[in-house]
Amino acid sequence: MSERTGKISAINGNMIVAEFENYVLQNEVAYAVAGNEKLKSEVIRIRGRKADLQVYENTESLKVGDKVEFSGELLSVELGPGLLTQIYDGLQNPLPQIAKECGYFLKRGVYLNALSYEQEWEFTPEAKKGDKVKAGDFLGSVPEGIFKHYITVPFSFREEYEVSSVAPKGNYKIKDTIAEIKDKKGNTEKVSMVQLWPVKLPIRAYAEKIKPADPLITKVRIIDTLVPVALGGTYCIPGPFGAGKTVLQQITSRHAEVDIVIIAACGERAGEVVETLLEFPELKDPRTGKSLMERTIIICNTSSMPVAARESSVYTAVTIAEYYRQMGLNVLLLPDSTSRWAQAMREMSGRLEEIPGEEAFPAYLESRIASFYERAGIVRLNNGKIGSVTIGGTVSPAGGNFEEPVTQATLKVVGAFLGLSRARSDARKYPAIDPLDSWSKYESVVEREQVEYVRYILRKSSEVGQMMKVVGEEGTAMSDFIEYLKGEFVDDVYLQQNAFDEVDGATPAERQKYVFGILYEILKSDFTFGTKDEARHFFHEIRQEFKNWNSDPWGSGKFGERQKSLKEKVEKNVKDKG
Amino acid sequence: MRKVYSRILQIVGDVIAVEAEGVGNQELAEINTSRGKSLAQVIKLDGSKVSLQVFAGSRGISTGDEVRFLGHRMQVSFSDNLMGRIFNGSGIPRDNGPSLADNMVEIGGPSVNPAKRIIPNRMVRTGIPMIDVFNSLVVSQKLPIFSVAGEPYNELLARIAMQAEVDVIILGGLGLKYDDFLFFRDTLEEHGALSRSILFVHTASDPTVECIMVPDMCLAVAEQFAIKGKDVLVLLTDMTNFADALKEVAVTMEQIPSNRGYPGDLYSQLAARYEKAVDFSDQGSITVLAVTTMPGDDVTHPVPDNTGYITEGQFYLRNGRIEPFGSLSRLKQQVNGKTREDHRTVMDTMIQLYADFKETKEKLAMGFQVSKWDEKLLKYGALFEEKLMSLKVNVPLEKALDRGWEIMAECFSPEETGIKTEMTNKFWPKSKTPVEQEPRAGEEEGEGIEEGPRTVEELSAGDGNNNSAAGKKN
């Protein structure tokens, strides 16, 4: 194929216009040549002999007349063993290696291999000569950290193949051929351990997509109990700044009971990524006993990095998530924040002078968001294994107002809505998920009946609280007042959680079920009090006891003792049945 | 020899278009006008039409004026000679000193590789309890001060600058009132801090485009010092003017506005500046404190809103004090676990109780009877506001924590605070003597307390005791 080139005819921010001679492909990758630097870009619109390209780098010092080289490939990621524990930018450049080469600052035009081509992996064949295979079928495996990393027939292979040879057990580099397969016409294809996949297309090499049913345990009580998330489901966390979106994401990325966590820091603060980066290797995953980093991949395109790469970073992340799903693993993808991604689209759309929609967002905003979240799901692979991708994105609505286009477009396509409230975070009630506004379509870890009752108490409590603001405490009936206190009590001792307390910070499902049962009993009790101050005093007292209890390790002697003393305190005030 | 162009095609706002060839994006040019020389920067290229924003403004530019391209981007001189100097947004001295041209560095450089950052872990002590106790400032933090016109934000900024232990202070004035510029200069001079300070000042009467340059100039210099191992504190006031300057240029360029006229890339523009705050793994650091005035005291206005999403928290300065609600230092967790074991407990509990106090005050305002609990809260709130919130209070962190316990002990019993028993056993003041000072009656807390009998008070210490009186009693 002859090399196709073009010439820059205009530059506006990170958009360039290139005049081309031959032909170009929509969304193909091209390089703008500035001196000895080649800047990666993507064709996003073609009009006549002119192609509009978004450049993934700063366009400083590019000149009109500079050369543009077209590559003929769509923007793709490299998939293969070695992805775990990596820290990539939005274009899958490994940041630690870039730091080694370029020092403190990111340098434009430097693109490194996402995976090591030198490292050797111990390959064990799974398929035999003569097997019939399709895209996504396992040919063999290599151990990657704590996982068995399956090497599959590349997802881009569309036909049915017959295995003609598989490499014997041994050490191989990722580019080595580990199998040869031939199609019906007899053409032989060589398969290595690494494959490319265009990020904007979903991987579909599975038998069927099934309905998410099992809960994904986050160990955050308010989520698991009140607004649960399912494996293979989707949820969103909208909230004004300072309400704790990112902290909630970080907590989830630590404690969630999934195999792999992919953190996509999209247009957010670099400092937050660094925290994860440096802390995760030190933290132990309670499920495996290994460091948390071994199950983590970080895609990081922070707010000061080029905008166009921000747009591609969420796609890079979801493609890697789908890749691990294809091995029968449960993957949790946490993009933070999808609003920055939407803003990146808006910036490009503005430069293209497209007709703007609401708040100048492009008209295709909704469909892009929908198709992104639709890449989540739980699937049955060709060999019967189940794998899933769960997506939990944060949304940063302008002014904290959920009526804006990104939040609204997201709400249409997610299965759970974990809305953070400024009022709660101002009162230091963390996690600041609003228990009344938030909803979920998935199944909770505790019994539905109990959840319904607690929801009722919370709603009632909030109503009484509102009413009390108008009629005052003295104008409130004792029974209402007690319900009000009950609601506050549930909030204080169960919905709020101290993320810095080792025990309280992560509550396993089993403990949630147990504790919630006790809480339910307390709420169901019929209390009698002489005065409102007495009632308040009582609830303060058991709140104290319950909070202490939350910090007692599950199953420890202290746990039992505290439960007993809590019970005694409660029973003292329960109305005599006689 | 670089070519000189003299075909100015278009002058709109502060943006001119000239026909030229071989010009790089973002390149700098020099324009010779009848009013003198001015710098300009390329912001858009379309065929042979080059658009430039003129730093000194377009007033008086003739279509026949000469434009000479310099072949490089905007630069600033960097050396120790900068110390104690004052420049404008184009880097021209405004203190009658010599202009500097050695060791030029480009401004607005690429961002720091996240892999080269470290988790910030050093606290910046300010002596202001609302910061030290409740929202500790941390080295390498980027933090805006949200305020409204008329509030003493520049005074606060100056005070933090004086008391913070850093090697270099860089002050960026954006649309600064001339008086305020003089205030900063004089304050720094009085406290002997001018010799470790560098000022880039754009005053309200200077050309708009220079305003856009100020943060980049400040941060480029800061970055150079940080790489040399210095801890740098960058103070910017007021970033809303920066955003307004961006808006002005964007509108001139006929960009589609996204929200209230601001360009769609406002977030990215602000982030590119704030994200320069850094703690290098093996070198110095940059801490950024920036005033953002909120038009109409509206935090949902695009400028404070976008800022809040970028920065690591925010301080609200309202009615002359730092508001406990909304104010947040996201990095405080990195440092407040290592100060004293009760730091976090005091911080959380006092704020929760203060929130309850606010609710009670609302109730009171509607004329409801107050319960015993409410009375306790009212007393607590008044004490809290006076002894910790006031900006006049200047005490080290440890003393402020002790004061917190004293205030709580005076108003509540230990279990009413909801603090874990192990903690109260250790820190709850044993002798229930009154804290040094009782709240003065009458002011904010007056309405409710004065009427109802103060039955709950364990202490009958009268109102109006000042420090010395309480001291005598003990």
Record the tokens describing residue B137, joined without a space. Answer: 């400032």
Q: Contact A304/B272, CB-based, under 8 Å?
A: yes
Give yes or no for residue B270 having a pLDDT over 90: yes
pLDDT digits (tens, 9 = 90+) for B301-355: 999 999 998 999 999 999 889 998 878 898 998 898 899 999 999 998 999 899 8
Which amino acid type is present at position A193?
A: M
Q: Contact A474/B368, CB-based, under 8 Å?
A: yes
Percent helix, strand, coil in chain A (nearest 5)? 35, 25, 40
In B288-331, where does DSSP find H-type helix? Answer: 302-310
Give yes or no for residue B415 having a pLDDT over 60: yes
Distances (CA, A) of B391 to B129, B155, B158, B320, B463: 9, 11, 13, 7, 22
Query: How close A423 gets to chain B, by Cα (Å)?
Result: 9
Claim to verify: residue B109 and residue B42 sit in the same structural domain: no
pLDDT of residue A156: 94
Q: Contact A304/B27, CB-based, under 8 Å?
A: no
- Are the C-beta atoms of residues A138 and A127 closer than 8 Å to each other? yes
Claim to verify: residue B171 and residue B199 sit in the same structural domain: yes
pLDDT of residue A203: 96
Q: Contact A104/B113, CB-based, under 8 Å?
A: yes
pLDDT of residue A2: 59
Q: How many CA atoms lie within 13 A of B215 on its CB side?
A: 25
pLDDT of residue B175: 94
The DSSP code for B59 is T
pLDDT of residue B316: 94
Q: Residue B315: closest CA among chain A residues belongs to which residue?
A: A242
Q: Contact B363/A346, CB-based, under 8 Å?
A: no
pLDDT of residue A576: 53
Residue among A270, A399, A500 minimizing CB distance to B275: A270
A21 burial class (0-12, 13-18, 19+ CB within 10 angstroms)? exposed
Q: What dotted CATH number matches A120-197?
A: 2.40.50.100
Distance CA B339, CA B341 (A): 7
Query: How close B364 gets to chain A, by Cα (Å)?
Result: 9
Give yes or no for residue B472 having a pLDDT over 70: no
How many Cβ atoms from other residues are within 10 Å of residue B104's Cβ? 14
Claim to verify: residue B204 and residue B87 sit in the same structural domain: yes
pLDDT digits (tens, 9 = 90+) for B118-138: 989 899 888 889 999 999 999
ipTM: 0.85
- Identify the band that residue B454 occupies on the pLDDT scale cut at 50, 70 and 90: very low
Residue among B119, B267, B366 minimizing CB distance to A274: B119
Q: Which residues of B touch A95 (CB under 8 A)?
A: 113-115
Distance CA A282, CA A293 (A): 8
Beta carbon pairs, A and B, within 8 Å: 222
Q: Which residues of B touch A98 (CB under 8 A)?
A: 113, 115
pLDDT, mean of each 10-residue run, chain A (578 residues): 86 93 93 92 94 93 94 95 94 94 91 94 95 95 95 94 95 95 93 96 96 95 96 95 87 94 92 86 85 93 89 95 97 94 90 88 95 97 96 91 94 96 86 95 94 96 91 88 95 92 92 95 91 92 92 92 91 67
Query: How close A545 gets to chain B, by Cα (Å)?
Result: 9
Claim to verify: residue B189 and residue B273 sit in the same structural domain: yes
Q: Is position B203 within any domain?
A: yes
A448-572, CATH topology level:
1.10.1140
Q: Considering chain A, what percentage of its residues have pLDDT values greater than 90?
A: 78
Q: Contact A104/B116, CB-based, under 8 Å?
A: yes
Residues 6+ apart with CB under 8 A from A277: A87, A298, B114, B115
Instruction: Report the relative pairing of strands B197-203 and B168-176 from DSSP bridges.
Output: parallel
Closest CA to B401 of B376, B422, B427, B378: B427
CATH 1.10.1140.10: which residues of chain A? Answer: 448-572
**Interface test with chain B among A93, A269, A547, by most B beta carbons within 10 Å:** A269
pLDDT of residue A575: 66
Asked which of B305, B333, B361 is the last residue of a domain, the reply is B333
- Identify the band that residue B431 occupies on the pLDDT scale cut at 50, 70 and 90: low
- Are the C-beta atoms of residues B314 and A242 closer than 8 Å to each other? yes
Record the tokens describing residue B436, joined without a space. Answer: 């040094």
Q: Give the neighbor-by-neighbor strand order of the sheet with A132-133.
A: A132-133, A161-166, A177-182, A188-192
Residues 6+ apart with CB under 8 A from A83: A114, A115, A297, A320, A323, A324
Instruction: Report the relative pairing of strands A50-55 and A15-20 from DSSP bridges.
Output: antiparallel
Strand partners, A208: A380
Q: Is position B383 within any domain?
A: yes
Residues 6+ apart with CB under 8 A from B468: none
Claim to verify: residue B234 and residue B258 sit in the same structural domain: yes
Record the tokens describing residue B359, joined without a space. Answer: 């609710």
Helix (H, G, I), strand (E, B) or coil at A394: strand
Backbone angles phi, psi at A192, to 5 degrees: -110, -170
Closest CA to A363 of A374, A352, A373: A352
Claim to verify: residue B51 and residue B83 sit in the same structural domain: no
Q: What dotted CATH number matches A207-440?
A: 3.40.50.300
- Are the C-beta atoms of residues B357 and B384 closer than 8 Å to each other? yes
Q: Contact B312/A346, CB-based, under 8 Å?
A: no
Distance CA A235, CA A390 (A): 8
- Are the C-beta atoms of residues A295 and A222 closer than 8 Å to each other? no
Q: Is position B447 within any domain?
A: yes
Closest CA to A327 of A211, A193, A228, A132: A193
Which helix or strand (DSSP H or E) is residue A425 part of?
A: helix A422-426
Distance CA B79, CA B365 (A): 59
Give yes or no for residue B202 having a pLDDT over 90: yes
Query: How close B187 gets to chain A, by Cα (Å)?
Result: 32
Record the tokens describing residue B201, joined without a space. Answer: 């000042």
Q: Is position B55 within any domain?
A: yes
pLDDT digits (tens, 9 = 90+) for A222-242: 999 999 999 999 999 999 888
User: Count of domains in chain B?
Assistant: 3
- Are the C-beta atoms of residues A75 and A34 closer than 8 Å to each other? no
Residue among A9, A536, A551 minimizing CB distance to B47: A9
Query: How close B444 gets to chain A, by Cα (Å)?
Result: 20
Q: Which residues of B touch A356 (CB under 8 A)?
A: 256, 258
Token match 């391209």: residue?
B69
- Are the C-beta atoms of residues B437 and B456 closer than 8 Å to each other? no
Claim to verify: residue B273 and residue B157 sit in the same structural domain: yes
Claim to verify: residue B158 and residue B239 sit in the same structural domain: yes
Q: Contact A346/B258, CB-based, under 8 Å?
A: yes
Asked which of B291, B313, B333 is the last residue of a domain, the reply is B333
How many Cβ atoms from other residues are within 10 Å of residue A124's Cβ? 15
Q: Which residues of B touch A533 (CB under 8 A)?
A: 371-373
Token match 């523009």: residue?
B269
Distance CA B398, CA A126 (A): 64
pLDDT of residue B460: 35
Q: Is position B338 within any domain?
A: no
Domain carrying residue B447 = 343-473
Claim to verify: residue B390 and residue B407 sit in the same structural domain: yes
The DSSP code for B385 is I
Distance CA A98, CA A117 (A): 16
Residue among A64, A277, A398 minimizing CB distance to B302: A398
Claim to verify: residue B238 and residue B251 sit in the same structural domain: yes
Q: Contact B25/A60, CB-based, under 8 Å?
A: yes
Query: How close B106 gets to chain A, by Cα (Å)?
Result: 12
pLDDT of residue A452: 95
Torsion sign over Cα B148, B152, B155, B156: negative
Q: Residue B282: closest CA among chain A residues belongs to which residue?
A: A104
Residue among A241, A343, A468 minimizing CB distance to B308: A241
pLDDT of residue B350: 93
* Domain CATH code at residue B35: 2.40.10.170
Which amino acid type is present at position A14?
A: N
Q: Contact A242/B259, CB-based, under 8 Å?
A: no
Query: How close A439 gets to chain B, by Cα (Å)?
Result: 25
Q: Which residues of B touch A464 (CB under 8 A)?
A: none
Q: Which residues of B touch A267 (CB under 8 A)?
A: 267-268, 271
Distance CA B374, CA B362 (A): 11
Token match 């006689």: residue?
A578
Q: Contact A500/B337, CB-based, under 8 Å?
A: yes
Q: Is position B393 within any domain?
A: yes
A4-75, CATH topology level:
Thrombin, subunit H (2.40.10)
Q: Contact B111/A548, CB-based, under 8 Å?
A: no
Least reliable range by pLDDT among A381-385, A469-473, B246-250, B452-456 = B452-456
Record the tokens describing residue B198, joined without a space. Answer: 């560098």
Distance CA B3, CA B395 (A): 62
Claim to verify: residue B414 and residue B362 sit in the same structural domain: yes
* Domain CATH code at residue B176: 3.40.50.12240
Claim to verify: residue B232 and residue B306 sit in the same structural domain: yes
Query: How close B278 gets to chain A, by Cα (Å)?
Result: 8
pLDDT of residue B432: 54
Give yes or no for residue B16 having a pLDDT over 70: yes
- The pLDDT mean for chain B works out to 86
Residue among B301, B309, B366 minimizing CB distance to A396: B309
DSSP states of A164-224: EEEPPSEEEETTSEEEEEE-TT--EEEEES-EEEETTS----SSEEE---SB---S-HIII
Q: Is position B426 within any domain?
A: yes
Distance CA A454, CA A462 (A): 12
B182 burial class (0-12, 13-18, 19+ CB within 10 angstroms)? exposed
